[in-house]
Amino acid sequence: MKIHNGDTVTVISGKDKSVTGKVISVDHKNQMLVVEGVNLAYKHVKPSQKNPQGGRLHKETPIRASKVMVVCPKTNKPTRVGYRYLDDGTKERFARVSGASLGVISPAKASYAKK
C-alpha cells in the first residue's frame, strides 16, 4: 500500500467526501486506514470512576484505502503516488502530478555507492 502513517490524505468518496486529514494508523493486511476527523462514530460510555460524567465520545473508525488519495505537498491537490530510485540508489515515494517527493523509503544500496 502506498499510504503511510503521517501522510495527509483527502477522502474521494463516501459520507466524508473532500475531507482532509492525517493518517493515524495503517492496516496493510486489510487495506484500511484510520484518518483523524474522518469516519467518526459515537461511542456511548457509562459513568465510571475514570469517567464520572459518561456520555458520547467521538471515535475515528477505519476507512478503506481505496477511498482516499494522498495530498501533494506542492499543489495541495489529491495525487497518485509512485516510486522511483534516485541516482544515489535511495528509493522514494513521489507525487505523480507534480513530481514532488513524499519521502525516502529505503536508504542507498551498497551497489550504487560511487567509486
- Report, at the CATH architecture level, how domain 1-71 is classified: Roll (2.30)
pLDDT tens for each residue of 12-67:
999 999 999 999 999 999 999 999 999 999 999 999 999 899 999 899 999 999 99
Strand 55-60 versus strand 63-64 pairing type: unpaired
Burial class (CB in 10 A: 0-12, 13-18, 19+), 85: middle
pTM of the model: 0.82
In the chain, where does the domain assigned CATH 2.30.30.30 lie?
A: 1-71
The residue type of 2 is: K
- Judged against a pLDDT cut of 80, whether residue 109 lies above it is answered with no
**Mean pLDDT, residues 78-91 taken together:** 93
